[in-house]
Amino acid sequence: MKIKEFLANRYFIREADEKDSMKIEALAKKASPLRPSVAGTYEYLALCFKRYFLVAIDEDILGFIIGLPNIDNKNESWIYQIAVHPSYRRKKIASNLLKMEIERLTDDNFKKIKARILSTNNRSFKFFNKYGFNMVGYIDNWIEVEKEL
């Protein structure tokens, strides 16, 4: 397992473990406008998609990102969720999580990453755009973005 340390920021990024699921769920509830997943989802994702479920940790979980392969298209992956505790935003945690996720997905030969963002979430749209994601359409209240790898 490849672990990246961010000593200047006093946290490191590692793969999520099922034991982290309760803390991740609690963080998701604080990370508005993110809508937390139903109970048990984070535990399941940590068990089944550990390589693409990353957490930023100091003494506690500061943020997380969940990437998922598209089972219908082996070249495509999705960012399911990305969240950072409100007290730790604007410290490049989300940026470092996304960069590491992109690195792993690239290493695993994915050709494209997609995400859906609530149309009212301008901050997330700008964030993804900054990292090369382009808008490809609207689906109900969602903006769909993608990045070619």
Tens-digit pLDDT profile for residues 44-74:
999 999 999 999 988 899 999 999 999 999 9
Domains of the chain with CATH codes: 4-148 (3.40.630.30)
Query: pLDDT confidence of 6, banded at 50, 70, 90?
Result: low
- Calculate the CA 88 to chain-centre distance: 15
* Closest CA relative to residue 34, chosen from 26, 46, 23: 26
Q: Residues 125-148: pLDDT tens digits?
A: 999 999 999 999 999 999 999 999
Mean pLDDT of the region 22-51: 90
Could you tell me the two tokens for 129? 């755009």
Residue 2 has pLDDT above 70, yes or no: no
Mean pLDDT of the chain: 91
Question: For the whole model, what pTM was predicted?
Answer: 0.91
Position 108 scores a pLDDT of: 96
Task: For helices 93-107 and 122-130, give the axis angle rounded to 10 degrees.
Answer: 50
Position 32 scores a pLDDT of: 84
Mean pLDDT of the region 35-41: 86
